[in-house]
Each structure stands twice: as structure tokens, then as C-alpha cells.
Amino acid sequence: MRWMWIDTIVTYEPDRRLVAIKNVSLAEEHLHEHFPAKDGLPAQPVMPASLMIEGMAQTAGILTGSLRRFKEKVVLAKIQKAEITQDVVPGQCIRYDARIERIDPMGAGTVGTIERFDHRTGQWEKIGETEIMFSHVDQNMSGQAFPEHNFVFSDSFRNVLRASGLGHLMD
Amino acid sequence: MAISRADIEEKVTDVLENALGADRDEIIATATLTEDLGAESIDFLDIQFQLEKKFSTPEKPFKIEQGELFPENMMSNPDYVKDGKFTDAGFAVLKEKMPHVDLSSFGGDRNVRGLAKLFTVKSLCDFIEIKLKK
């Protein structure tokens, strides 16, 4: 079981760009702990920034994996930059827009934009930027061996791809 | 117009400050990337990508091929590395392909683990200077 932090993929431009959506719901338990009512102050549920970074990492990771038809084991290697300037609250929607900046046999560099959609205003607003690097673990410099099966792109990832109409990328 | 050595050093310092979070006064010519500046294996790829961006111009992209700056593609070749040590053939290739690295201080056992320690700030600047002249 892998916890997915994207709901669906809405745009896929081969070798270049992938955009995913995450709807934030009050039914998500973690929002009740982030932040609960305390010291007479009311609860203030907001989407944790760390999970938004994970959502972008999953988006950019799928894009990186798609470059080699998911044959490489792609793992998050380094977050060079992650800036999130606004909160996202239940009822809002997050859009992760990831682009490949550089690909190499050893790994890939990606840049991303995070936006939020507010149904009251009907508008998207940019709230963050990321730069995330991924490593192809079988090509690592240390020569360390990993299991042959691709443990990165598990069923959870495959289900999102299929549901988004991109199942053919795994063929 | 050719870029000066001082400009190369300034840009390399920018890259290392950004990639490794190192203080600028720590980034001196003799500083090693791993032991002095704390670089880990993935940082080498980050440094490579950032150098490409820093030294590319609209007229001339600056592309570093795999194994050109760091010899990562030699590690899995049994002709070059055996039992964690460079073979004679591997060491000869290393000398030919890595003129920017001072191999004279490489330990007698040629253990591959010792190689990363030889990459200094000066190595990166030399690499850029040699490559820009080609």
C-alpha cells in the first residue's frame, strides 16, 4: 500500500510535462491533526506543506519514470528548492505542474509549480515552486544492487495512471 | 568572448553554494567536494546539471556527457574496476579522461572510494576551463 497524494493526472506531454490534481477534503484524517483546536483557539485544518511536496514528488516522479517507460527505479534523491507561500484548506484543489529540466542515465532534474483552486473565486493561484532531483537507483555510483522488480512504481501508481487514461505508458 | 578564470571560479562557487549549501568562504580551490564541502553521491549529479545551466549561453549550450566530469560510468565496468579497485586499464583510462583531477595523490591501492576525495573546487574549475577551450 502506498499513500497517493495525487488524485488524477490531467495533462501529459511526453518527455516534457505532467500535471496532476489533488482535491483536499475534510474527510482526510490528517487534516484534523493539522491543526487541532487548542488553548481556546478553533481548529485550523490546512494541507501540510510536506505532503504537498510529496504530491509534487509523485507527479514529477511519474513524469521521470515515463521517460523510460517505467523500466527504471526512480527515487527522490534531492529537494533543491521547495517554496510554498499560501495555505490550502479543505474544499480547495491543488494542481501540481511538473516539467523535466534535464535527464541523464544517472537521474533527472525537474521543476514544478504548485497552484490552488478556490471554488468561490473560480480562479487558480500560484502558491509554490519546487526543484526536485530523482535518481535512477540501478545506475548509482556506489554500484549497490537493488531488487530486480520495480518496487517504485507499485500498483498504487499504476492505478492512477490507468484511471487517468495513461495505462498504455506501462505497456 | 572567452570567459576568464576568475569568472569561472565565481560561477563554480555559485553552483557549489547552491548545490551543497556551503559558505562561500569555505569554497576555496583546495577544498574537496566530499570531505570539506559535504557532497554526497547525488550532489555530483546536481552539480553537473547546475554547471550546465551556469555555463550555457543562447548561442552555445554547455552539455556534460555522462562520465565526462565524474567517472561514474566506469564503476560497473569489470575491465576498469575489480574488487573495488581500479585495474591498470581503468587507471590509464582515468588519467586520460580526467585531466582535471590530480591523480598523483591517489592512494597506492587505487580504491574507488578514494577517488571522490580527489575532486576539489580546482578540479571543477579546471574541467570547465579545459572544456570551454575545446
What CATH number should be reported for the domain holding residue A148? 3.10.129.10
A2 found inside a domain: no
Residue holding cell 531488487? A147
Domain that holds residue B110: 5-133
**Mean pLDDT score of chain B:** 91
Which of B15, B45, B117 has the highest number of chain A CBs within 10 A, making it the mutation to test binding with A?
Answer: B45
The answer to whether the Cβ–Cβ distance between A77 and B45 falls below 8 Å is: yes
The answer to whether the Cβ–Cβ distance between A133 and B18 falls below 8 Å is: no
Residue B95's domain is classified under what CATH number?
1.10.1200.10
In 3-state terms, chain B is what percent helix, strand and coil (to 5)?
50, 5, 45
Question: In B, which residues are within 8 Å of A142 by CB distance?
Answer: 41, 75
Question: In A, which residues are within 8 Å of B18 by CB distance?
Answer: 80
A166 found inside a domain: no
Domain count, chain A: 1
A74 found inside a domain: yes
Q: Give the pLDDT confidence score for residue A105 in this predicted structure.
A: 84
Least confident of A36-40, A75-79, A150-154: A150-154
How many angstroms separate the CA atoms of B57 and B65, rounded? 17
The answer to whether the Cβ–Cβ distance between A78 and B70 falls below 8 Å is: no
φ and ψ of A53, to 5 deg: -65, -40
A68 found inside a domain: yes
How many angstroms separate the CA atoms of B107 and A166, rounded? 52
Find the catalytic residue in A30, A32, A34, A149: A34
A1 found inside a domain: no
Note whether A81 contacts B: Cβ–Cβ < 8 A: no
Confidence class for position B48, pLDDT limits 50, 70, 90: very high
The minimum CA-CA distance between A124 and chain B, rounded to whole Å, is 30
A100 found inside a domain: yes
Clarify whether A136 is annotated catalytic: no
Q: Give the pLDDT confidence score for residue A44 in this predicted structure.
A: 94
A137 found inside a domain: yes
A105 found inside a domain: yes
Q: Give the pLDDT confidence score for residue B108 in this predicted structure.
A: 76
Beta-bridge mates of residue A138: none
Of B110, B105, B107, B108, nearest to B93 (Cα)? B110
Beta-bridge mates of residue A114: A96, A128
Q: Which of B18, B43, B66 sits opposite A104 (nearest CB)?
A: B66
φ and ψ of A165, to 5 deg: 80, 20
pLDDT above 70: percentage of residues in chain A: 91
Q: With left for phi above 0 and alpha for psi between -120 and 50, is residue A50 left, alpha or beta?
A: alpha
Domain count, chain B: 1
Confidence class for position A140, pLDDT limits 50, 70, 90: low
Question: In B, which residues are within 8 Å of A102 by CB distance?
Answer: 49, 52
C-alpha cell recorded at residue B100:
582535471
Find the mean pLDDT for residues A75-97: 96
Q: Which of B46, B49, B75 sits opposite A141 (nearest CB)?
A: B75
Q: Give the pLDDT confidence score for residue A151 in this predicted structure.
A: 66
Domain that holds residue A145: 8-35+42-160
Other C-beta atoms lying within 10 Å of the C-beta of residue A85: 11
Q: Give the pLDDT confidence score for residue A150 in this predicted structure.
A: 64
The answer to whether the Cβ–Cβ distance between A101 and B49 falls below 8 Å is: yes
- The larger pLDDT score, comparing residue A169 to residue A20, is at A20
